Amino acid sequence: MKQILLLKCGELILKGLNRGRFEDKLCSILRRRLKDVGDFDVHCNQSTVYVEPCGNSTAEDAIPVCQKVFGVVSVCLMAVCKKDIDDICRVGAEYLKDVLDNARSFRVTAKRADKRFPIKSPEIGVMVGGYLQDAYPHLKPDMENYDVNVEVNVREEYAYIGAVRLPGAGGMPTGTNGRGMLLLSGGIDSPVAGWCMAKRGIDLSAVHFFSYPYTSEEAKQKVLDLAAILGQWSGKLTVSVVPFTHIQEEIRAKCADDYFTLVMRRMMMRISQQVAINQNCGCLITGESLGQVASQTMEALGCTNAVCTQMPVFRPLIGMDKEEIVAISRRIGTFETSVLPYEDCCTVFTPKHPQTRPKLENVEKQEAKLDIDTLVAEAVAGVERITL
């Protein structure tokens, strides 16, 4: 029996005359990702994406991939039927046997996308439901408290019936809202921030600050592993590894201890902005959450933002608490890697009593002790780019 996936596109249906551009981008991403698991025909019609297996490929093989593509709200596994009510009933009873044998109640929801089909949606539901109840007398029809929701979809060429609807990633197709540079550490927050913005259609690149020998090669590999996991959702991802040891040593030697973290963060933002410009990115993305640590107070964030003069800084986690962030990290698969015990550069030279209510003029006085332009240029010139 032939199976197919029908993918629902969520908010893309709200787009106007440019909706086709978003749908074409989504289909292009799906075709590229699905090459790794088999041969599939992918096309879109009436805001539904069809993923049809070819050759020896199966629809089940494509499900995990489709669930991780932004722009897909749900994935429906369905059997293909003729556009004939008798065939829909017969195929449904046969195809759903294992599901219905183990259920106690069911309902049928029907959608007639092709209005030329002579039977209206409510009548399709009644007719299919009656047939299934006759075929499986133990089943009780129940529109509210059902074990199985049988879906019938009558479309342009065929009808489809199934009972498996799985959640997708939601959001908008990657790349439809430009490129962004993620400041990626080895912690829990920044991969989640990147995921949140990729969900809004941003094509991600990442920058990581590496302070060897204060941070180890294992810590660097941990970040690359996080980027690889994130790339399962966002697609190909390039990590720019910035040599940061000299800058941190300069800050420690010349700046007041309680300003170390702030000056360091501002240097990171300057460097990240330049790396982003070099890679045609239009924004920076950080995993900061208001009040979580000393460098994330309102005043500290204001001081950090002041050096980002050429692009916006997006902080998708700014209003989340740690439990919410951890829940997302578990869902997207980054949590177990994030909690591995390897320090990153943000934990090196951490002052005992950092400034939490800094004034910009005082931070700038500390920075005046550094040759900022030279340090930034040196860091950018030493970037190592790794594509995952």
Q: Concatenated DSSP letters for 304-321?
A: HHTT--SS-EE-TTTT--
* pLDDT tens sequence for the chain (388 residues): 899 999 999 888 888 888 889 999 999 999 999 999 999 999 999 889 999 999 999 999 999 999 999 999 999 999 999 999 999 999 999 999 999 999 999 999 999 999 999 999 999 999 999 999 999 999 999 999 999 999 999 999 999 999 999 999 999 999 999 999 999 999 999 999 999 999 999 999 999 999 999 889 999 999 999 999 999 999 999 999 999 999 999 999 999 999 999 999 999 999 999 999 999 999 999 999 999 988 899 999 999 999 999 999 999 999 999 999 999 999 999 999 999 987 765 666 677 778 889 999 999 999 999 999 999 999 999 999 999 8
Phi, psi of 282, deg, nearest 5: -105, 0
Q: How high is the pLDDT of residue 348?
A: 60
Of 22, 334, 312, whose CA–CA distance to 179 is shortest? 312
Q: How high is the pLDDT of residue 46?
A: 85
* DSSP string covering 86-100: HHHHHHHHHHTHHHH
**Domain ranges in the chain with CATH number 3.30.2130.30:** 3-167
CATH value of 179-387 in 3.40.50.450, 3.30.1020.10, 3.40.50.1370, 3.40.50.620:
3.40.50.620
Specify the 3-state DSSP secondary structure of 114.
coil
Of 2, 106, 16, 86, whose CA–CA distance to 50 is shortest? 2
- Burial status of residue 74 (CB atoms within 10 A of its CB: 0-12, 13-18, 19 or more): middle
Distance CA 80, CA 1 (A): 8
Q: How high is the pLDDT of residue 75?
A: 98
Distance CA 50, CA 379 (A): 47
Task: Evaluate whether 38 touches 57 at the Cβ level (below 8 Å).
Answer: yes
- β-sheet bridge partners, residue 207: 183, 240
Q: How high is the pLDDT of residue 360?
A: 96
**Domain ranges in the chain with CATH number 3.40.50.620:** 179-387
Phi, psi of 197, deg, nearest 5: -80, -30
Largest CA distance in the chain: 84
User: 3-167: which CATH topology?
Assistant: VC0802-like (3.30.2130)
- SS3 helix, strand, coil % of the chain, rounded to 5? 45, 20, 35
